[in-house]
A and B are shown apart, each in its own frame.
Chain A
Amino acid sequence: MSTELSTDVLVIGAGPAGSMTAKWAAKAGASVLMIEKRQEIGSPVRCGEGMSKDWLKEVGITPGRWINLEVEGARIFSPSEKVFEINEKSAGNEVGYVVERDAFDKQLAIDAANAGVEIRLKTAALGMLKEGSRVVGAKVKHFGETFDIRAKVTIGADGFESQVGRWAGIPTNIATRDMDTCLQYRMTNVDSDVRYCDFFLGKVAPGGYVWVFPKGDGLANVGIGVQVSQVKNPADAKTYLDRWIDKHPGYAKGKKIDMVGGGVSISPPLKQTVTDGLMLVGDAARMIDPLTGGGIANGCIAGKICGTVAAESVRSGDASKEFFQRYEKGWRARLEEKLYRNWLAKEKLVSLSDETFDKIVEVLAGVRLEKLNVHNILKAVHTKYPEVTREFEAFL
């Protein structure tokens, strides 16, 4: 016997973007069903667990037990390990919390449930239900049983490895140069500084960086991202990370207690995130910041807009891609300029030599920039190394 469910809004994926979308759609009066293929929301963690905090209020998230610790700033280490310190003010609140991502995701799902969202675990999407090219729900599998969920609006919040967009006909494929392959160990007994999130640039992580995010009591997330187009051999991410740890006695003495992997898009924003009956949100819509690799804030900010538009769509009985332009335009107005700017900056950074990284960080370490932005950085570097800034004229 085949079961068939129906709902106003079907959200595929219960990560932060999915839960946010579901919550805001339910708050606006829609019936919402959120499905998650895993057996546990938030686990296994696939995240460095560092995030900014200035956006939380905007989307209605209240700080809770998911906060691991609050950092004062970030430190950028050049290849020869000159250090440049960024505090929260100069970075425009880019740094903030180190979090327990599994607890964070669960809290957001709880918030969604409290708003009236139905949640089904162990429910994986297998493909889209379509009428012509219009998406009208998904075919799913739940504990071995396959059935259809019909929905007025379907949301693809299925993360970096999104298949929903592609099943629905939205091109979300990414080139190898637009993706970092990532690996992270949670390590204990390491010498991380709880005041800072640390970033190590240059050939130690081609096309990415090594990060150390402190979790307190000698615990830290030590991870790496390597641009896939710069991978020479299988498992290069692991090889580079292990090599970095070996060369840093404060970490080589540590013990690994957890291992996390994943892909991170470092692409420019997608040209299209909606189609008839369907919207994409979060990492599935390639909303990850291509410079920092952070995806939570953007996914949540877009999720609020997406959920609100989904409920409006249900109310007006119009789930056309034309109607969804409210979302397409809404999230772009809020996020696109920065995504594009950071993509340009990233494109430049991945091409720099270790020597150039050293020069830039050395200059920045020696000056006091009131506000940290690309323009001010370039001006400072220009005074000492004009030949370095020549490459960056497009930014000035």
Chain B
Amino acid sequence: MPSKKSLHIESSGQVCIYCGACVGVCPLNCIYLDETRITFDEKVCTRCEICVKGCPVGAIEIG
């Protein structure tokens, strides 16, 4: 069983509407929005999943 932190996190480019809601809600400030691309600092991210809830369209997946 992998630790939660070893899980990959990404925003689906097809689902994402690059609105920045995840960036604002991230408690560790580890998400970055660059026009139409969301990147996560996977080393800082603890996979707390708050961004998953904050995303209005369900674009963020962890696994």
Whether the pair B19, A228 counts as a contact (CB closer than 8 A) is no
Given contacts A46-B19, A174-B24, A261-B56, 7 further A-B contacts (CB under 8 A): A160-B20, A166-B29, A174-B25, A238-B56, A260-B17, A261-B17, A265-B24
Stretch in A99-107, A145-153, A175-183 with 4+ CB within 8 Å of B: A175-183
Known: A38-B35, A228-B50, A263-B25. A159 touches B56 (CB 8 A): no
CA distance A259 to B56 in the complex (A): 11
* Pairs across A and B, CB under 8 Å, 28 listed: A39-B35, A46-B20, A160-B21, A160-B24, A161-B21, A161-B23, A162-B24, A163-B23, A173-B27, A176-B25, A176-B50, A179-B21, A179-B25, A179-B54, A181-B53, A181-B56, A183-B56, A228-B50, A231-B54, A234-B55, A235-B58, A236-B53, A237-B56, A238-B57, A261-B17, A263-B19, A263-B21, A263-B24
Select one of A38, A228, A235, A265 contacting B57, CB under 8 A.
A235
Q: Does more than half of chain A's interface fall in helix, strand or loop, or is it mixed? A: mixed
Write the A265-286 contact mask toward B (1 if CB under 8 angstroms, else 0): 1000000000000000000000
B53 to chain A: closest residue by CB: A231
The residues of B with any CB-CB pair to A shorter than 8 Å are 17-21, 23-25, 27, 29, 32-35, 50, 52-58, 60
Write the A46-62 contact mask toward B (1 if CB under 8 angstroms, else 0): 10000000000000000
Query: Interface extent on A, as a size class?
Result: 35 or more
Whether the pair A176, B20 counts as a contact (CB closer than 8 A) is no
Whether the pair B54, A181 counts as a contact (CB closer than 8 A) is yes
Which residues of the partner chain A approach B29 to less than 8 Å between Cβ atoms?
163, 166-167, 173
Whether the pair B19, A262 counts as a contact (CB closer than 8 A) is yes
A113-129 interface with B by 8 A CB criterion = 124
Known: A39-B35, A166-B29. A234 touches B53 (CB 8 A): yes
Which residues of the partner chain A approach B20 to less than 8 Å between Cβ atoms?
46, 159-161, 262-263
Known: A46-B19, A174-B24. A181 touches B55 (CB 8 A): yes
Which residues of the partner chain A approach B27 to less than 8 Å between Cβ atoms?
173
The residues of A with any CB-CB pair to B shorter than 8 Å are 37-39, 44, 46, 124, 159-163, 166-167, 173-174, 176, 179, 181-183, 226, 228, 231, 233-238, 259-263, 265
CA distance A260 to B17 in the complex (A): 7
Whether the pair A237, B57 counts as a contact (CB closer than 8 A) is yes
Which residues of the partner chain A approach B32 to less than 8 Å between Cβ atoms?
163
Known: A238-B57, A261-B56. A182 touches B21 (CB 8 A): yes
Which residues of the partner chain B approach A234 to less than 8 Å between Cβ atoms?
52-53, 55, 58, 60
CA distance A259 to B34 in the complex (A): 19
The distance from the CB of A39 to the nearest CB of chain B, in whole angstroms, is 7
Which residues of the partner chain B approach A179 to less than 8 Å between Cβ atoms?
21, 24-25, 54
Which residues of the partner chain B approach A233 to less than 8 Å between Cβ atoms?
58
Select one of B34, B35, B54, B57 contacting A263, CB under 8 A.
B54
CA distance A48 to B60 in the complex (A): 24
Which residues of the partner chain B approach A237 to less than 8 Å between Cβ atoms?
56-57
